[in-house]
Structure 1
Amino acid sequence: MSFAVTSSETARYEVLMANARSRIKTIQEPEASQKGVQLPLWPVGVRAVPNGFLRSALFGAIAKGRRRYVNGEDLAAVDGVTIRYKGERLDQGDLDVWESVLHAVRLQELGGQCRLTSYALLKLMGKTDTGKNRATLQNRIERLVANAVTVKQGRYTYIGGLIRFAAKDEETQEWVIELDEKLRPLFAADQFTQIEWAVRHELDGKPLAQWLHGFYASHAKPFPMKVETLLRLCGSESELRRYRQTLGDALDAVAEASSAHGEGFSYEIRGDLVHIEKKAQGAQRRHLAKKASRPRKPRG
């Protein structure tokens, strides 16, 4: 038995196939014009920060109180990172706000308007929606807008504000926040760190412990470092003698919070050197494996 296919049926089949191929192409090969600049999509349980910011005094471990105004000074940073800053000094609470804004913005095009309420932003920070917290949030956003930072990290230099623009509807408490899309290279694959938010949040109110957690999280395999160097890098204005006394307590807090959330961290202070042992995470493990597989150059 044979079946005849009419010309009209053939035409309908060709139209259906053409439409299907068009849909497949649209899914697999989006047009360049539809692609916007976007931050990497990191998991819900972490916050992403450029390494240069974690390895410097930009978001310092400073005490509460009146902020010193920095008029275009070079801030302490590790070798390979240069940061010049102008504005009120930033602390770990300011970093919490900036991390939370980044966390929300990562789901949309960088440089566009991110809309979220004070309630939503405070919730991302693990804060309750009270009048006091709203006022503190606004002060921190104002500080993040009213600054100028020049950061050289790797081959790239960014010059601009940490938040480009912010506005708020006082009735609905909805914020409109914009970040500069030129921040994107600071989030290249090997240029940022995913901070375990549960650990950082548990260290809330302990600025030195938060800074140390971020600093060591940005290193796959930390090397011994002088107490004096850590004092300079964290931006603390404490005297060295007093800093030595508080450093051990802060490291204890990091170790305890890390252990509570399955993140290995231990330390030992031998003489003037701080030795850290930690478990490398995700991309850091891959980095160490890649580094170990490289052939070593012969000595001599």
Structure 2
Amino acid sequence: MSSNLPIPGRIFTKLGEHNKRSRAQPQGFEIEQVHSLMPNWSDSVRRVPNVALRSALFGAISKGHRPYLERVKIHALGGISIYYTGALLDQGDLDVWETVLHLARMQELGAECRVTAYRLLKDLGRTDTGKNRAILDRHLSRMKATALQVQVSEHSYEGSLIHEVYRDHDTRSYVIRLNPKLRVLFLDDQFTDVDWSIRQELHGRPLAQWLHGFYVTHARPYDFKVKTLHQLCGSRARSLCDFKKDLRRSLDAVERASNAAGQPFSYLVEGDLVRVRITPSSSQRRHLAKKC
């Protein structure tokens, strides 16, 4: 693939010149670009579209074989429709995508985001080693080679998770471009600010990471059946009995990490029903107040 080839420095220069020309466009063009700007958010959180947190798009799966999916309907919470083509994605892919979104938030969507492997790995909480750079490369390539069809209420998106990736192996740098139409996934209340310290604390526990992301999208979580959570998280557990054991361990991990971060989280498993109680964020409290 062309995205894996080293890029001479002159191409980075040309990309910079292209950016300058883009910024020098007429007034009407500038107004159109303003609407492509991402809403800013704090360094302590990662703003994530709910479609990525309320579905099996980024599954709670461990390392191993990655089947290739061809326009497969992904399990998702009601109101969300996802058809996906590409290699099966996991929580490690979501970590990288969240980090790319975070770094790109200060510029217009669709512009080149220039970043070193060191910076990406540092923001991910990883050391800059050859092994970790190779893993990062695989995450970026996997998400570039995706095709999504997403429908959320009246909004829709069709495209990849990462539009383009250019690599300069000499300087260990990337130029990453996101599709500007991803902006529709950040409209209204279709996103959630995920506490990054809690997510990092749960690193290496894919189901715990998925559960944390899933439940923080709810101001007042509904009660869910174990079977429903099994489907929504994309678990490859062979039986619901095995999944239920992992579910309890993972909920314990989320409870410990959340409470340690000052964000009370509690749960109760009664038969096949899971009840979770969380502390709503300030924006979620405002949302609840409007419904009263």
How far off is 1:189 after superposition?
3.1
* Match in the other structure for 1:205: 204
Matches within 5 A, 1:156-195: 156-195=155-194
Q: Deviations over 1:178-229 (max 9, x none)?
A: 0000000100130000000000000000000000000001111001100000
Matches within 5 A, 1:62-141: 62-141=61-140
* Match in the other structure for 1:26: none
* Match in the other structure for 2:248: 248
How far off is 1:271 after superposition?
1.2
Measured in 2, the distance between the counterparts of 1:154 and 1:196 equals 26
Q: Deviations over 1:68-118 (max 9, x none)?
A: 111111010011000100010000000000000000000111100000000
Q: How well do the aligned residues superpose, as a CA RMSD in angstroms?
A: 0.9
Q: Deviations over 1:221-266 (max 9, x none)?
A: 0011000000000001112110011100000000000011111110
> Which amino acid counterpart does residue 233 of structure 1 have in structure 2?
L
Measured in 1, the distance between the counterparts of 2:164 and 2:199 equals 27
Match of 1:103, SS state, is helix
* Match in the other structure for 2:30: 34
Matched residues, number: 262
* Match in the other structure for 1:272: 272
Q: Deviations over 1:122-175 (max 9, x none)?
A: 111111111100000000000000010111112111010000000110010110
How far off is 1:39 after superposition?
0.9
* Match in the other structure for 1:263: 263
Moved over 2 A (4+): 31-36
> Which amino acid counterpart does residue 30 of structure 2 have in structure 1?
Q
Match of 1:195, SS state, is strand
How far off is 1:33 after superposition?
4.1
> Which amino acid counterpart does residue 151 of structure 1 have in structure 2?
V
Match of 2:43, SS state, is coil
How far off is 1:32 after superposition?
5.4
Alignment TM-score, normalising by the size of structure 2: 0.88
Measured in 2, the distance between the counterparts of 1:232 and 1:134 equals 32
Point out where structure 1 has 5 or more consecutive residues left out of the alignment. Answer: 1-30, 293-300
* Match in the other structure for 1:231: 230
> Which amino acid counterpart does residue 252 of structure 1 have in structure 2?
D
How far off is 1:34 after superposition?
3.4
Measured in 1, the distance between the counterparts of 2:187 and 2:78 equals 19
Measured in 2, the distance between the counterparts of 1:157 and 1:240 equals 33
> Which amino acid counterpart does residue 263 of structure 1 have in structure 2?
Q
> Which amino acid counterpart does residue 253 of structure 1 have in structure 2?
A
Measured in 1, the distance between the counterparts of 2:111 and 2:241 equals 47
Q: Does 1:291 align with 2:287?
A: no
Measured in 1, the distance between the counterparts of 2:75 and 2:222 equals 18
Measured in 2, the distance between the counterparts of 1:227 and 1:133 equals 34
Match of 2:115, SS state, is strand
> Which amino acid counterpart does residue 96 of structure 2 have in structure 1?
V
How far off is 1:288 after superposition?
0.5
